[in-house]
Amino acid sequence: MFTARCILGTSAKYLTSLPAQRQQIKLQNRMSTSLRSVAAVCQVTATPDKQANFSACKQLVEEAKGRGASMVFLPEAFDYIGSSREETLSLSESLTGDTISQYSQLARKLEVWLSLGGFHERGHNWESDRRIYNSHIIINDNGEIISVYRKSHLFDVELPEKGVSLKESAFTIPGPSLVSPVQTPIGKVGLGICYDLRFPELSLALQRQGADILTYPSAFTVATGAAHWEVLLRARAIETQCFVLAAAQVGRHHEKRSSYGHALAVDPWGEVLGDCGGEKPGMVLVEIDLEKVSSTRRNMPVQQHRRNTDFYQSLEKS
């Protein structure tokens, strides 16, 4: 028996049970001789203060490791959330800068894998165009960067009735391609970031390449999160029959921006295993049982029932 749970704050005294219908989750080991693979899905409240953000994330990673996690997932913009375009650009770094160096050292020291869900990475032509990538970085337990995915779909949205106005493309370069799922201690992880969640083609492409787990580290707005966050994450899990892990930003970052929170873990059947709520930083700890992926796909072989690409394009050709 393993209990998925949300830990608010960074002390055991903040241990909070999930609602009764989500509290007790029976999970099996992948193999009778294997150790449990535990993932920690975190939510934080990033501000423009990079060092304060690192300190808060470091505490979460340390606690997750202490509670048995072999991989820790941090959200989009874990490094900072700027209060203006100018501040956002000025705080950005390269992959060889201080921020990623600190996280590499942390991963190596704790011997834990890290999913750094959305790093403000200076573009290859930074000196001439002052544009950045939104980069999802996987660091192994030796502190090595083993994969970098640059966000493909940029969040350009005007919802005046919801008070939402964001234009990510004004300073961000769209990533050139998807990256192959990464073999990790918890399974093969397919990488997305936030707005990518709305594009099922991406999740299906990762599933076809062997992903057991999809991850969508995010900084959803309060309005779009309340309307779409959980239903989209559960849909991606159901259609791919993958675990879905979604670290999240939560609360007020500065006077201009707040995030929805609710860091979520979903199983291949679409059941929510853990929800960190919409108020405080914390984490969801969840065991990843890859046999659940296999049995779900075996019992309902959706991918085998899928028709070939020409079938789905037949309307376009008619």
Cβ atoms of 190 and 209 within 8 Å: the answer is yes
Residue 161 Cα distances to 12, 158, 165, 223, angstroms = 41, 9, 10, 10
Residue 203 Cα distances to 102, 115, 175, 178, 193, angstroms = 30, 17, 16, 10, 11
Tokens 């990518």 correspond to 196
Question: Among 65, 121, 151, 276, which one carries the catalytic annotation?
Answer: 151
Q: What does the alpha-carbon distance between residue 164 and residue 145 come to, in Å, rounded to a whole number? A: 34
Active site annotation includes 76 = yes
Question: Among 76, 188, 242, 287, which one carries the catalytic annotation?
Answer: 76
Active site annotation includes 194 = yes
Read out DSSP for 186-250? TEEEEE--GGGGG-HHHHHHHHHTT-SEEE--B---HHHHHHHHHHHHHHHHHHHT-EEEE-EEE
Question: Among 6, 42, 57, 194, which one carries the catalytic annotation?
Answer: 194
Q: What does the alpha-carbon distance between residue 66 and residue 72 come to, in Å, rounded to a whole number? A: 12
Tokens 């934080």 correspond to 44
Catalytic residues, which ones?
Answer: 76, 151, 194
